[in-house]
Amino acid sequence: MVKILYLLYRSLTNFKHTLLVAVFGYTSYCHHSPTCSEYMLHRIVKDGTIRGLGKGFKRLLTCW
């Protein structure tokens, strides 16, 4: 279950970065360490699925 959620999250972040480059010409790089996808996986394992997803998506919104 965690692996499926992690892969879904990775595809969402990849789509976001691709969209920013295609539409706005914005070349993005990760501002966070660890990256958002690594953070999401860590939070899901540590806090559980629901809370981990919430924290991961909250962090993803800081990149926009």
Distance CA 64, CA 53 (A): 17
Q: Quickly state the pLDDT bin for 64 (edges 50, 70, 90).
A: low
- 17 or 54, greater pLDDT: 54
Each domain of the chain, given as residue ranges in start order, spans 33-64
- 14, 15, 22, 51 from 59: Cα distances, Å: 15, 16, 23, 12
pLDDT at 56 exceeding the cut of 80: yes
| Tens-place pLDDT, residues 32-47 | 777 777 888 888 889 9
> Is residue 27 packed enough to be buried (19+ CB in 10 Å), middle (13-18) or exposed (0-12)?
exposed
